[in-house]
Structure 1
Amino acid sequence: MKVITCASYYGTGSSAITDYVSEFEGVFSLTNEEFRFLHDPDGVDDLAFHLLENHNRHNAGHALKRYKRLVDFYDGNIFGRKYAPFFHDRWKEISYRYIDALTDFKFNGWWMYDLYDRGPWFYFRKRIVNKLLHKTLWRNDPERTLNTMKSEVTYCSAPTEERFVSLTKAYVGELLSEASGGAQTVMVDQIVPPSNLPRYTRYFDDIKVVVVDRDPRDLYLLEKAEWKDGIIPHDDVETFVKWYRYTRKHRQTEIFDGKTSLFVQFEDLLYRYATETARLRGFLGLDEIAHTAPGTLLVPERSKRNTRKWLEYPQYAADVAYIEEQLPEYLYDYSAVGVM
């Protein structure tokens, strides 16, 4: 199976890659839904850290329980289905088998974080009897602890790196095969992040990662004037500039090798459509003949409406000038494509 994925920094237009690739015959697309379970907090990469790199008697097994909780969340519920429909209601089943495969053994036991994870009220309710006993019957036995969680299960896991990578690769492959019906090429959104790519691409036999960014002026104005969803800072332009640099800091050392990973500027997909999509096809190994539905999902003329937004919002001219001064290396050169 060849896996194609896009990675971005929020709002930078990576869905254009999903749309373009989905126009090809023989590509199974999981749509623009983001599948972040490898790199989200408490996700698979946290397992790698706690099971391999910083293994200890408590954190390793607890990381498995935290991942199980994330699996449950991503399965969805009656208020909103999340991953379950994409994997034919087998997301949780396949994920639980992966957790079991990583688990060496279990026993009935608990520690403080089993209480902490359930919130402060649960913690204090469970521990108040223990405190009362220490003030009365156990006043001379300070080390004694009341077992208030007899049904709690502790997981124990200490795999080798080879075993962990092998099991994770099989897990990801089974999920994508289930979702796609065994397709040879699968398009999946955000399954890896744009940073520290070798850490995540090791879980795939064949993956192509397209990292997408866009002009910071447009990103700022879209968030400030249109999206207003609060994920990108936009109350003051100085904080936006700090955030933009902060989220791209990895690019000082990140290598996009043109073999596994490719960097694409969103605007090039629109203003240099023919040449940029040809470069993209070459990297992805897609045959132009298989492009059977061109222009049905990625429509450059339509997407261009979300560029050069400063022309629509002249009231933010001072903010735009500040971005141009502070982030010149990230600005898209419109003059190079004949647009002023």
Structure 2
Amino acid sequence: MKSHKIITCAGYGGTGSSIITDLLKEFDNVKSMGDFEFSIAHDMDGISDLQHYIVDDFHRNKVAEGIYRFKRMSRFIEQQYNTFFKGKFMNYIDQYIDSLVDVEWMGYWHQHSWRESPWKMFYKYNLPYSIKKRWHKLFHRHDKYEYEPSMPLSMMYTSYGSERFYSATRDFFNSLFNELDPDFQYEYLALDQLVPPYTPERYTSYFPNLKTIIIDRDPRDLYLLNKIYWKVGYIPYEDINIFIKWYRLTRKHTQNEKLEGANVLKIQFEDCIYQYDTTIKKILDFVGINVHHHIHPKRHFNPAISSKNTKLWEIHPEFISDCELIKKELNQYCYNF
């Protein structure tokens, strides 16, 4: 199957990874999908979790539950993804599941009841089970074998083995990517957040032609942006000490792991602004794009505009003490302006 070269950017939440997809909109051989996060590979109950149940920690019944959760999660995100895949997203999901499954049947496992609300669990599973057990005890005392009441049936699956899983997953993503550019007008596709910044190597078997750019930014600006403007719940900002602890923990892996390599590049948000020419060249050399394809420089990523989101403590001196504490505690992550 013909395939595109894929570029993705990854960040830690608010660190500016979308500057990469914005930048790549300026190239005539790249189709950039903007800042929509194509995160199905690493979402909760996403493909990486499927890998856990099928490959990393196979369990005959957990596979079925993992596939159920993956399909449920896919239905939650279906409407958003259909915007890009012409209303056929779930068709691709169903084809992917079919390609993974070795055996399927209508069956029952006790965790099926956990999918329901407490009231539905009681009336659909617990109450009928109790009635059937009591009925059997009263009228079938002399049965030779242990009695197990029949329960409502759901689809069960078994899938086993790494080779099939990785092959099916590559085909799935390749089909999705080809839907984005079916006539292959572009050599590259750029998508935001295909992989996370923590263990990008885990996902290399899903995307054989993938280049990943990880973006981080000065913790002082990240703190102030969230405390003053965004106030998003996934970044703590009410307590400066909690923010510092959170930031340090979410970057701790960078001290013990070699993130960069042939397919992974880590850059600072601030370098894209204050060392624009050098950093753009570094990015293009990494992904393999000739600078001649950069036909609309600074149309979508303008460092003069983005610079307004840096050094925020200079225009918010009321938070200077918080920023000084961040500088003291997280000095290794602070940018040298």
Distance across 2 between alignment mates of 1:54 and 1:230: 32
Asked if 2 retains the 8 angstrom alpha-carbon contact of 1:138 and 1:144, the reply is no
Equivalent residue runs for 1:56-67 within 5 Å:
56-67=59-70
- Cα deviation, residue 145, structure 1: 4.0
Task: Give the fraction of aligned pairs with identical amino acids, expressed as a percent.
Answer: 36
Worse-matched range after superposition: 187-196 or 247-256: 247-256
SS in structure 1 of the partner of residue 27 of structure 2: coil
Distance across 2 between alignment mates of 1:114 and 1:137: 23
SS in structure 2 of the partner of residue 86 of structure 1: coil
Worse-matched range after superposition: 29-38 or 115-124: 115-124
Distance across 2 between alignment mates of 1:311 and 1:147: 69
Please name the residue that 2:95 is paired with. 97
1:304-333 deviation digits (Å, cap 9, x = unpaired): 111001112211122111111110000000
Asked if 2 retains the 8 angstrom alpha-carbon contact of 1:2 and 1:184, the reply is yes
- Cα deviation, residue 238, structure 1: 0.5
- Cα deviation, residue 137, structure 1: 4.4
- Cα deviation, residue 138, structure 1: 3.2
Equivalent residue runs for 1:114-153 within 5 Å:
114-126=112-124, 127-135=126-134, 137-138=136-137, 144-150=147-153, 152-153=154-155
Distance across 2 between alignment mates of 1:252 and 1:144: 57
- Cα deviation, residue 257, structure 1: 3.2
- Cα deviation, residue 55, structure 1: 1.0
- Cα deviation, residue 90, structure 1: 1.6
Distance across 2 between alignment mates of 1:136 and 1:68: 37
Structure 2, unaligned runs of 5 or more: none
Worse-matched range after superposition: 174-183 or 141-150: 141-150
SS in structure 1 of the partner of residue 105 of structure 2: strand
1:209-254 deviation digits (Å, cap 9, x = unpaired): 0000000000000100111122200010011011111111221233
Q: For residues 21 and 254 of structure 1, do their structure 2 counterparts lie closer, same or farther at Cα, with a shift above 3 Å needed?
A: farther
Counterpart AA for 2:9: C
- Cα deviation, residue 185, structure 1: 0.7
- Which of 235, 240, 243 is the aligned partner of 1:240? 243
Distance across 2 between alignment mates of 1:289 and 1:262: 22
TM-score (norm 1): 0.92
Structure 1, unaligned runs of 5 or more: 77-81, 335-340
- Which of 249, 254, 259 is the aligned partner of 1:251? 254
SS in structure 1 of the partner of residue 137 of structure 2: coil
SS in structure 2 of the partner of residue 333 of structure 1: coil
SS in structure 2 of the partner of residue 212 of structure 1: strand
Please name the residue that 1:46 is paired with. 49
Please name the residue that 1:166 is paired with. 167
1:272-328 deviation digits (Å, cap 9, x = unpaired): 101111111111111111111111110111111110011122111221111111100
Counterpart AA for 2:127: I
- Which of 281, 297, 311 is the aligned partner of 1:308? 311
Asked if 2 retains the 8 angstrom alpha-carbon contact of 1:258 and 1:283, the reply is no
Distance across 1 between alignment mates of 2:267 and 2:147: 60
Asked if 2 retains the 8 angstrom alpha-carbon contact of 1:256 and 1:262, the reply is yes
Q: Aligned pair 1:212/2:210, yes or no?
A: no
Distance across 2 between alignment mates of 1:144 and 1:120: 25
1:257-280 deviation digits (Å, cap 9, x = unpaired): 342000010000001101111111
SS in structure 2 of the partner of residue 208 of structure 1: strand
Worse-matched range after superposition: 250-259 or 164-173: 250-259
Q: Aligned pair 1:155/2:157, yes or no?
A: yes
Report how many aligned residue pairs link the two structures: 327
Asked if 2 retains the 8 angstrom alpha-carbon contact of 1:196 and 1:254, the reply is no
Q: For residues 51 and 169 of structure 1, do their structure 2 counterparts lie closer, same or farther at Cα, with a shift above 3 Å needed?
A: same
SS in structure 2 of the partner of residue 245 of structure 1: helix
- Cα deviation, residue 11, structure 1: 0.2
Please name the residue that 2:39 is paired with. 36
Distance across 2 between alignment mates of 1:30 and 1:162: 30
Please name the residue that 2:288 is paired with. 285
Asked if 2 retains the 8 angstrom alpha-carbon contact of 1:88 and 1:179, the reply is no
Distance across 2 between alignment mates of 1:170 and 1:255: 29
Distance across 1 between alignment mates of 2:67 and 2:95: 12
